[in-house]
Amino acid sequence: MADSASGNKSASGAAAPSNFIRHMIGEDLANKKHAGRVHTRFPPEPNGYLHIGHAKSICLNFSLAEEYNGRCNLRFDDTNPAKESQEFVDSIKDNIKWLGFDWHGEVRYSSNYFDHLYDFAVQLIESGKAYVCSLSPDQAREYRGTLTEPGTNSPDRDQTIKENLDLFKRMRDGEFDEGAYSLRAKIDMASPNINMRDPVLYRIRHIQHHQTGDKWCIYPTYDYTHCISDAIEGITHSLCTLEFEDHRPLYDWILHNLDIDSLRVVSDLADSEADYVLPQQTEFAKLKINYTVMGKRKLREMVESGIVDGWDDPRMPTLAGMRRRGFTPASLRNFCESVGVARSESVVDMGMLEHAIRDDLDKNAPRAMCVLNPLKVVLTTFAEDYRAELTMSAHPKDESLGQRVVPLTREIYIDKSDFEEVPPPGFKRLISGGEVRLRGAYVIRCDEVVKDDSGEIVQLNCSVDENTLGKSPEGRKVKGVIHWVSASEGVPATVRLYDRLFNEEKPEAKDVDYHNCLNPESLIKLENCIVEPSVIGNDAGNFQFEREGYFCFDSIDSSDARPVFNRTITLRDSWSN
């Protein structure tokens, strides 16, 4: 097994970029800590859909396991059933698979260990390291103190072990109302780290759990559960984001105040030859992106208030939303790799994420033509029943994608923006009396502009230079090239033009109400678009609609008779200054 980052490969096959976590693992392997094992885990709470920030953690944990021939567990932190659901569990599993990762063994849940967690809590009580407290949540906060003032001991802190064991058992048996009691660790109410001021280990919650049903009416806290779950699973490197840095002393305190032999007995390594070493928590900077909200509370609020159309709205930073918008697993993995892993937090520019998907789709998305705002053009040179099949490349830089057949008929559609009766300076598309080339076809000249009674242009009558298929016209230069679709054989489609949901760089700043910086043009629906027929039945999923941007079939709505396409990203960055 490699003992340094330099010899490892990333998910993309390139040399894995060096970072402090890879250096740490390399040193652990060189020192034969954990008997040469690398075992990570991804521990999401099933109280919402995964977002792009989670993708960084997924890529880090799963990729490290791959690089070092190790293992990565998927473990749901399901200690708060009031906000959790099977829907979220299912979506998280689905999106991890979509990203291209697979977990070791069966899906795990913190609730798998509730019996063990209860027994370990009893062990802490018996050793005088935990007690049952009758302070209400509000009182407990008051007793906790502040960053500059120490806390005050609970009046129950010096109860006897016998009293604490009795009360804890009665808590489990359901004798008390919610909030009547809690189990707290007995550490130090004067600690400068507030997390060490007798933190809560168990709370009373009379609520059904999506995995354990009505078996429990007390539930362990995350801080208590997480470290023990890591130890039970034989995790070697517990990788967390920086907000858990101040929780690390508690992580270590809990594990070092339990009997390590009893931890080993219930662990996955109980029957293994591997050395049993307690897991080590290491923190890294979470992913922050400008023009984005990623706080789960705010994401939930946007869903429940109808600002967006569900967790998988293509404007959401959730993996389900980005997937529906057309982001590819490769683009997200490459983005996470390019962002890197650091100890200090910073904000990544949205342009980096948009570059990642543009780069991937530019290389891999087949080309097609779609007219977003149709204007009819009659090619008067051709007969009424004229029809030709033109062969065009599916991708100008990748011959392996083959070719596509595009029908040309007497009547076609071009985009309204590609014609100007009175052109502005520098306009290089079709004008009255002027010429333009149809993409992959002929040079045409606009001979007549047809308008309705209100003066709106409804049709252009154009002649065709039939000697210009695949070659330039003789004696003149035509600069403009526009896209088009056959009027009779093009497919009517609905197109949704998605853009950034926020027009403010820091919508989550403390002094900003994100409701006031919603981008009114984050979604524009176009109902009368026409797309070339080659995209129908094409399982590519993602396309570059020439001159318009990158689009994908909507994974939810494209089952209708009229296909629906979502714009993934524009061809060029329109947000850069």
Q: What is the mean pLDDT of the segment spanning 547-572? A: 88
Q: Is 340 exposed, middle or buried (0-12, 13-18, 19+ CB in 10 A)?
A: middle
**Residue 207, pLDDT score:** 95
* 376-400 pLDDT per residue, tens: 999 999 999 999 999 999 999 999 9
Residue 384 domain flag: yes
Residue 44 lies in a domain: yes
Q: How far is Cα 499 from Cα 314, in angstroms, rounded to an integer?
A: 9
User: Residue 433 CA to chain centroid, in angstroms?
Assistant: 50
The closest of 573, 571, 568, 574 to 498, measured between CA atoms, is 568
Which neighbouring-strand residues pair with 463? Answer: 445
Looking at the structure, do residues 564 and 520 belong to the same domain, yes or no? yes
Mean pLDDT computed over 543-569? 89
Query: 413 and 487 in contact (C-beta within 8 Å)?
Result: yes
Question: Are both 361 and 378 inside the same structural domain?
Answer: no
Q: How many separate domains does the chain show?
A: 3
Tokens of 100: 């291209």
Q: For residue 164, what are its two tokens? A: 């604490």
Per residue, what are the HEC states of 366-377?
CEECEECCEEEE
* pLDDT average, residue stretch 54-70: 96
Same domain, 266 and 406: no
Q: Which residues have C-beta within 8 Å of that of residue 372, sequence separation ≥ 6? A: 415, 495, 497, 526, 529, 548
Helices (H), 208-247: 222-232
Q: What is the pLDDT of residue 392?
A: 96
Asked which of 460, 488, 516 is the last residue of a domain, the reply is 488
Residues 86 and 185 occupy one common structural domain: yes
Polymer length of the chain: 577
Cβ proximity of 52 and 322 under 8 Å:
yes
Contacts 24+ apart (CB under 8 A), 6-11: 8/67, 8/68, 9/67, 10/63, 10/67, 10/337, 11/59, 11/63, 11/66, 11/100, 11/333, 11/337
Closest by CA to 315, choosing from 347, 293, 339, 289, is 293
Residue 361 and residue 402 in one domain: no
The per-residue pLDDT for range 464-496, each reduced to its tens digit, is: 999 999 898 888 899 899 999 999 999 999 999
Nearest to 348 by CA among 291, 399, 425, 421: 291
340 band by pLDDT with thresholds 50, 70 and 90:
very high
**516, part of any domain:** yes
Model pLDDT, residue 484: 98
Q: What contacts 440, CB < 8 A, 6 or more positions away?
A: 390, 392, 406
Asked whether residue 27 falls in the same domain as residue 116, the answer is yes
| Domain identity same for 525 and 543 | yes
484 and 497 in a single domain? The answer is: no
pLDDT, tens only, 519-545: 999 999 999 999 999 998 888 889 999
d(CA 382, CA 444): 12
Closest by Cα among 304, 315, 313 to 557:
313
**Res. 2: pLDDT tops 80:** no
Nearest-angstrom CA–CA distance, 572 and 361: 13
4 within domain boundaries: no
CA distance 179 to 140: 11
pLDDT in tens, 497-518: 999 999 999 999 988 999 999 9
Q: Is residue 61 part of a domain?
A: yes
Asked whether residue 11 carries a pLDDT value surpassing 50, the answer given is no
Residue 168 lies in a domain: yes
Could you tell me what percent of the chain has a pLDDT over 70?
96
Residue 7's pLDDT is: 41
Do 317 and 265 share a structural domain? no
In a domain, 1, yes or no: no
CATH code, domain carrying 35: 3.40.50.620
Structure tokens at 6: 């330099």
CATH code at 518? 1.10.1160.10
Assess whether 191 and 318 both reside in one domain: no
Boundary (domain end) residue, out of 286, 307, 341:
286
Question: Does residue 288 surpass a pLDDT of 70?
Answer: yes
Q: How is residue 140 written in tokens?
A: 């407990």
Q: Rounded to whole angstroms, how far apart are CA atoms 11 and 557?
A: 32
Tokens 């004229």 sit on residue: 386
**Listed residue (333, 324, 321, 393) closest to 357, CA to CA:** 333
Q: Is residue 9 part of a domain?
A: no
SS (H, E, C) 194-210: HHHCCCEEEEECCCCEC
Question: Of the residues 442, 464, 488, which one is the last residue of a structural domain?
Answer: 488
Tell me the pLDDT of the chain averaged across its residues.
Answer: 93
Q: What is the pLDDT of residues 344-377, one digit of tens each?
A: 889 999 999 999 999 999 999 999 999 999 999 9
- Looking up residue 477, the CATH number of its domain turns out to be 2.40.240.10
> 471 and 517 share a domain?
no
Place of tokens 């929780």: 247
Q: Band of the pLDDT at 5, cuts 50, 70, 90?
A: very low
Q: Are 99 and 186 in the same domain? A: yes
Range of the domain at 452: 373-488
State the CB neighbour count (10 A cutoff) for residue 144.
Answer: 18
Phi, psi at 324, each rounded to 5°: -70, -30
